[in-house]
Amino acid sequence: MMKRDECLKVLAQHHTDEIVVPVFQAAFEWIAIKPGALTYLGVGAMGQASSHALGLALGRPDKRILVLDGDGSLLMNLGTLVTIADVAPSNLIHFVCNNGTYEANGSHPIPGARCVDFAALAQAAGYKHTYTFAGLAQFSAEIGDVLKQQGPIFVVLQVVPGEHYPQDFDILHSAARRREFGEAFRALA
């Protein structure tokens, strides 16, 4: 298993100008690890990050969209897998941080935590490429090539919590932060 923040630090090394849609714990970590105006903080309605990312991918087919989803969040909206696969945006990469819990809600176990195979679900739904990473060395070695492929791509990150990051809910729900994202999004070349 990998520590989620260590995974995100590796991903941040490969991040250039992609729009990132992180949720809950990954959002707190991402905004500390790689702050930027093009981070769309789609929180509030659990399970909607992948749907928001799909909208962004369709609206800006010239930009890569990275969604940093959680396993519990994805379970709230499994239909998104079929919708994304059917529309098949080549610019969407859907990461799922799989730790077997609803971490944002007290770390209660998700249903099927010991047996669900999210990559198999995405593959059956029709994602073009699916990957599962459980070791940081393999993830570090392969993520650069994964990011170069045409999507939709689905990547499961088998993770455990890492370092503690400040949980600033005011930032996640900030109207000013949403305006900042909107301005940066409209200013994209």
Residues recorded for the chain: 189
Dist. CA 189–CA 29, nearest whole Å = 27
**pTM over 0.85, yes/no:** yes
**Contact predicate 93/67, CB 8 Å:** yes
* Domain edges within the chain: 2-186
Other beta carbons within 10 angstroms of residue 123's beta carbon come to 16
Architecture in CATH of 2-186: 3-Layer(aba) Sandwich (3.40)
Give kind and range of the element (H or E) at residue 3: strand 2-3
User: DSSP characters for 126-142?
Assistant: T-SEEEEE--HHHHHHH
Within 35-165, strands assigned E span 65-70, 92-98, 101-102, 108-109, 129-133, 153-160
Dist. CA 188–CA 32, nearest whole Å = 23
Tokens 């610019």, residue located: 91
Residue-wise pLDDT tens for the chain (189 aa)? 899 889 999 999 999 989 999 988 888 899 999 999 999 986 666 778 999 999 999 999 999 999 999 888 898 899 999 999 999 999 999 999 998 555 666 556 666 767 789 999 999 999 999 999 999 999 999 999 999 999 999 999 999 887 776 677 767 677 888 888 889 988 886
